[in-house]
Amino acid sequence: MEKLLLQIQKNCVSGIILLLPLVVFFMILEKVWGFFQKYGDKFSQFLRLDKVLGPIASDVMGGVFLLVLIYFSGYLMQFSFLKRFTEWVDNKLMVFLPGYEKNKKLAEEKLAKEMGKPITDLPILLKAGEYWQPAHLIEENAAGNAVVFVPVAPSKDQGQIYIVSASDIKRLPDTTLGSLNESIKSMGKGILDFK
């Protein structure tokens, strides 16, 4: 009986860990879509599209506004000030939204696959002699070489860049960059649990 209760407790905790990021993501998505739908509704009434398309006119115009905003945001990312600001916001979201970094990583990987780009800046372990060192995989080529960045603890932004054989790296697909960086900041605490 005690074993059954422990299993039920474990499943409930696992379920909460799985559902919490999804619930937060869909709540944010609902708020964002509601914002664009509200202005899409006003614009569709202004252009009299609501008479032609009916109630979906607000969705259509909201989608158009969202696509235009995404396009211009991508254009503005060419400016370094906005890129630094976006990275700052991204770091804050990773702190305050559980599961944000993992969902972002999955989205980036999916987008990279669809666009045919190699996935970069991944957490890895680099074989250095008899030991493994935490590092970031920056890029790889078809010749079997890889560029890696090895941070110097406790700073995640300072370190060395090496060109190594791809056979000397061990990928950590279940580990996020944030987890790796936190571990480096805390002098390696938690690295043994990385997979």
Instruction: Judge whether 62 lies within some domain.
Output: yes
Task: Tell me if the pTM is above 0.85.
Answer: no
Tell me the residue type at 150: V
Same domain membership, residue 66 and residue 132: no
The alpha carbon torsion through 93, 97, 101, 107 (nearest 10 deg) reads: -100
- With vertex at residue 146, the alpha carbon angle to CA 180 and CA 85, rounded to the nearest 5 degrees, is 50
Take residue 130 and report the two structure tokens written for it: 């008899």
Q: What percent of the chain has pLDDT over 90?
A: 0
User: Would the pLDDT of 132 be above 80?
Assistant: yes
**Domain end residue (candidates: 76, 111, 136):** 76
User: Would the pLDDT of 173 be above 60?
Assistant: yes
The predicted pLDDT at position 83 comes to 67
User: Would the pLDDT of 111 be above 60?
Assistant: yes
Structural domain containing residue 189: 122-193
Tell me the residue type at 88: W
Q: Considering the chain, what is the average pLDDT of its residues?
A: 78
Instruction: Judge whether 82 lies within some domain.
Output: no
Instruction: Judge whether 96 lies within some domain.
Output: no
Instruction: Judge whether 116 lies within some domain.
Output: no
The predicted pLDDT at position 120 comes to 62
The predicted pLDDT at position 114 comes to 63
The predicted pLDDT at position 80 comes to 66
What's the pLDDT tens digit per position in 9-57? 777 777 777 777 777 778 887 888 888 888 788 878 888 777 778 878 8
Find the length of the chain: 195
- State how many domains the chain has: 2
Same domain membership, residue 186 and residue 130: yes
Same domain membership, residue 131 and residue 68: no
Same domain membership, residue 72 and residue 9: yes
Same domain membership, residue 126 and residue 71: no
The predicted pLDDT at position 65 comes to 82
User: Would the pLDDT of 119 be above 70?
Assistant: no
Instruction: Judge whether 180 lies within some domain.
Output: yes
The predicted pLDDT at position 108 comes to 67
Instruction: Judge whether 92 lies within some domain.
Output: no
Provide the pLDDT confidence category of residue 82 given band limits of 50, 70 and 90.
low
